[in-house]
Amino acid sequence: MAEAVLDAAGHDNHGDPHAVVHKTNTGVSNNKLAMWVFLGSECLLFGGLISTYLLYRTNTQGGPEPSEEFFDIPFTSASSFVLLMSSLTMVLAHSAAGKGDIRKLKIWLLSTALLGSVFVAGQIYEFTVFVREGLGWSTSPFSSAFYALTGFHGVHVTIGIIMLLSTFISAMRGRMHPGNAETVEIVGLYWHFVDIVWVFIFTVIYLAA
């Protein structure tokens, strides 16, 4: 694994003639570091959205309130569990990539994407139920904040699914091998981040209700 990282690190340095022979200053490849840095930025994005939600949580203007009766906690818990399990399959995909087991890599990438899709599908279903129960986008500051926060997260999961499927397709076309296991790791970083953010969102929205 360490070798693989070094390899990938070298090949990223397009501007550096001896990149292949010596590693980056931090030892982390450019691509991976960029993803870490980007995720740092994402923390503040969700931080802003969560703060907005907390501010407007009780501001329901007579519309539906965030309560146990309104939310279907068992349903959302189940879809949250599905999303968390996708982190496990992501780890398995990463491990398979590190071992060069392309067949398993493909299986686990696809499972992760599938689990993610189940989560997004659950979210869309949940939204339709809420709308039917009278929680429209414009109903109250609470409703706007709720849809904005969960919607932003849903878009992030969707982008993650696209990334997973792209990696899956490139594995299908024979372009994945131990030398670029890091690609899977980077997609994984993003995927785990999106999962962890959901843990916070789930707590703040559903459990705090």
Partner 1 sequence: MAIIENPLELEAGDEVAQVAEKPLGVLTRPQGSTGWQSWLFTVDHKRIGIMYGVFAMFFFLIGGLEALAIRLQLAVPNGKILSPETYNQVFTMHGVTMIFLVIMPLAAAFANYLLPLQLGARDVAFPRMNALSLWVFVAGGFFLCSSLFIGGWFENVPNGGWFNYAPNSGTLFSPTKGIDFYAVGLQILGIASLVSAINLIVTCLNMRAEGMTLMKMPVLTWMLLVVQFLLLFALPVITVALFLLMFDRLWGANFFNVEMGADPLLWQHLFWIFGHPEVYILILPSFGIISEVIPVFSRKPIFGYSFMVASGIAIGFLGWGVWAHHMFVSGLGPISVAAFSVSTMFIAVPTGVKILNWVATMWGGRIQLTTAMLFAIGVVSMFTIGGLSGVTHSVAAADTQQTDTYYIVAHFHYVIFGGALLGIFSGFYFWWPKMFGYKLNEKWGKWNFWLQIVGFNLTFGPMHILGLQGMSRRIDSYDPGYGFELWNMVSSIGAFVIFTGVAIFFVNIYVSQKQAKHLPPVGPDPWDARSLEWMTASPTPEHNFDEEIVVEYQDHFWHQKWAEEEDGRVVRIAYAEDIAHDGSATDVHLPSPSYWPLVLASGLPFIGYGIIYNYWLCAIGGFLTLGAIFGWIFEHPDDPDAAHGHHDDHGDDGDSDHGTPDSDTVDTDADDAELVTASTDAGEASNG
Query: Does residue 182 touch partner 1 according to CB under 8 A?
Result: yes
Site map 86..105 versus partner 1, x via CB under 8 A:
--------------xxxx--
In sequence order, what DSSP letters do the residues of 16-70 get, joined into one string? -TTTTTS--SSSS-HHHHHHHHHHHHHHHHHHHHHHHHHHHTT--TTS--SSTTT
From candidates 5, 24, 80, 120, binder to partner 1 by CB under 8 A: 24
Residue 13: Cβ within 10 Å count: 16
Choose the binding region for partner 1 from 68-76, 116-124, 168-176, 200-208 (rule: CB under 8 A). Answer: 168-176
Residue 78 C-beta: closest distance to partner 1, Å: 27
From candidates 2, 18, 67, 68, binder to partner 1 by CB under 8 A: 18
Query: Does residue 30 touch partner 1 according to CB under 8 A?
Result: yes
- Find the helix or strand (DSSP H, E) in which 4 lies: helix 2-12
Nearest residue (CB) to partner 1, 42 versus 72: 42
Give yes or no for a contact between 131 and 87, defined as CB atoms under 8 angstroms apart. Answer: no
